[in-house]
Amino acid sequence: MNKKPIILSVTALLVAASVTSAQSLLDLPGLLGRQQQDRRVQENAVKVEYDIDFQYFFDLRSFGASEELFMATETFNVARFSPSAVLRFDQDARTTHRLALGIDLTKNLGANPTAVEVYSEAEHQSKLSNFDLMKDIFFYYNYKKSVGDGILDFYAGILPRTILDGDYTRAIFADDIRYYDPNLEGVTFKYSAPRFKAEVTADIAGVRGVDRVGCEMVFTSGIYNPVDWASLGWSAAYTHSNGSLLASADVDFALVNPYAKVDFGSKLGMQELSVKAGPIATYQLDYKMPAYDESGEEVGESPHFPMGAEVIFNVRHWGFGLENTYYFGANLNTYMSSVYSDSSAATYAGTVYKGEDFYFTRRSVPAWYDRLELYWQPLKSEFIGTRFSAIGHFITPAGRGTEDQIGPFIGSQVKATVLFNLDAFRHPHKSSASSGSRRSGSTQRSEPAGPILSL
């Protein structure tokens, strides 16, 4: 057998392999560059994500004891299903862009159209049927960037309130704002770090029109935890309303609530044993309301500065808890009953004042208001939260500085809340700092996952 051709063939293969290897080594920088380019292309590819929020609210209100001066006797029984689709673009390892589009399907359970119209046209409308539940569309842009050991978030568009993490006093936002106003229209900035987080939002609640009331609101919240069991924080808001073209107005309302909070629950083997306390100061000016000197001469507008203090005590163990909110001070809503014009019944309530009506104490002297809540919170995690509550409301009884005969007990509520977030379920340990979709988590009070309000 002639082995020479075989030897020559093997030699040729070895030479070719050597040449190829040499060329690869000489072209190593280019090869690495192409790999990095392919990796960047893969990282920068647009990814499609999705999320679903479910919210159920039940709120049975009974305020006959106060002749419904503070709140009407009624029942909220609302379910909301909010699916959304997200396009995500990872600019680099620290920067992400997102575009989201979603809808809110909302049903006031039991509010079905009547078979025949007798007295109420509103209750006979077909839009009450289950096939016409789409109430709102939301869409927004989200920019997220890692900055040091924190995360910077920017949102713009129609924003679900579930993106907010702040701890706001009920003097700024009432609990039921989630029922009738689940979305914001404007921009939000958020920053979150291991021991500090803050957010600020500008919400265009209304653009002035012939009938539409113009109203803009800016609000902010923040918290700093120097140690695990103590924190310092704030919540604040500024609202301006200039009425409509037919009912002009020009009113400013600003509220600031700095606070300190301590929680000894972990030290005592409990879920929570906390006290949160701080002053509430306001600035209010209605430019339609002139001020007068002692002689009765008009001297221009005069601002009001009502203020008080709020203390919240919360104890919780084995899912059962008691939360008591105590406020003492002046009537915080000076112009609550003011109307936009003599020919209009529309008041500043709900536009200028979005907080609980109980801070409108209806007392001309400093008074107290107390909210006592007993609750059971069987489920509380990053993706699901449930809470069942019985709440009693009390206020300074009739006497000096009062024009009514009510108090101290003014009414009660029975509430139930169920919240679920699919994104948090798929990523069970992903915090708000790393999540780009609508978040259900909140650091406020002892509540389960949810927006800025209590359950």
pLDDT, tens digit, 9 for 90 and up, residues 319-363: 999 999 999 999 898 877 766 655 555 667 767 888 998 998 888
* Predicted local confidence at residue 447, as pLDDT: 40
* Predicted local confidence at residue 171, as pLDDT: 94
- Residue 58 DSSP symbol: E
Q: Summarize the confidence of residues 109-124 as an average pLDDT.
A: 56
Task: Kindly report which listed range (89-93, 151-155, 159-163, 395-399) carries the lowest average pLDDT score.
Answer: 395-399
> What is the per-residue DSSP string for 356-370?
-GGGS---SS-EEEE
pLDDT surpasses 80 at 434 = no
Beta strand pairing status for 307-317 and 409-421?
unpaired
Phi, psi for residue 171 in degrees, rounded to 5: -70, -20
* Predicted local confidence at residue 146, as pLDDT: 93
> What is the per-residue DSSP string for 139-151?
EEEEEEEEETTEE
Determine the Cα–Cα distance for residues 71 and 61; give it in Å rounded to an integer: 8
pLDDT surpasses 50 at 445 = no
Which run of H or E residues covers position 31?
Answer: helix 28-44
Beta strand pairing status for 214-227 and 272-286?
unpaired
Q: Summarize the confidence of residues 301-323 as an average pLDDT.
A: 92
* Residues facing 309 on adjacent strands: 279, 328
Determine the Cα–Cα distance for residues 334 and 307; give it in Å rounded to an integer: 11
* Predicted local confidence at residue 63, as pLDDT: 92
- Contact (Cβ atoms closer than 8 angstroms) between residue 163 and residue 128: no
* Residue 379 banded pLDDT, cuts 50, 70, 90: confident
- Contact (Cβ atoms closer than 8 angstroms) between residue 171 and residue 257: yes
398 CB-side CA count, 13 A: 8
* Predicted local confidence at residue 432, as pLDDT: 41
* Predicted local confidence at residue 34, as pLDDT: 53
pLDDT surpasses 90 at 18 = no
Q: Summarize the confidence of residues 91-107 as an average pLDDT.
A: 91
Tokens of 398: 């009739």
- Contact (Cβ atoms closer than 8 angstroms) between residue 427 and residue 73: no
User: Tens of pLDDT along 215-264?
Assistant: 889 999 999 999 999 999 999 999 988 766 566 677 889 999 999 999 99
* Predicted local confidence at residue 435, as pLDDT: 39
User: Tens of pLDDT along 140-159?
Assistant: 999 999 998 999 999 999 99
Omega into 83 within 30° of 0, i.e. cis?
no
Tokens of 312: 């919240």
Determine the Cα–Cα distance for residues 261 and 277; give it in Å rounded to an integer: 7
pLDDT surpasses 80 at 115 = no
Residue 266's alpha-carbon distances to 197, 272, 370, 445, in angstroms, are 22, 7, 27, 15
Give the residue, 2 or 405, on which the prediction is more confident.
Answer: 405
* Predicted local confidence at residue 455, as pLDDT: 45
Determine the Cα–Cα distance for residues 320 and 316; give it in Å rounded to an integer: 6
What rounded mean pLDDT belongs to the chain?
79
Give the residue, 315 or 453, on which the prediction is more confident.
Answer: 315
Record the pTM.
0.79
Task: Kindly report which listed range (52-56, 189-193, 270-274, 451-455) carries the lowest average pLDDT score.
Answer: 451-455
Beta strand pairing status for 248-263 and 298-301?
unpaired
Determine the Cα–Cα distance for residues 433 and 149; give it in Å rounded to an integer: 10
- Amino acid identity at 351: T
* Predicted local confidence at residue 246, as pLDDT: 63
* Predicted local confidence at residue 448, as pLDDT: 35
Give the residue, 188 or 15, on which the prediction is more confident.
Answer: 188
Task: Kindly report which listed range (36-50, 238-252, 299-313, 404-418) carries the lowest average pLDDT score.
Answer: 36-50
* Residues facing 9 on adjacent strands: none
Give the residue, 297 or 154, on which the prediction is more confident.
Answer: 154
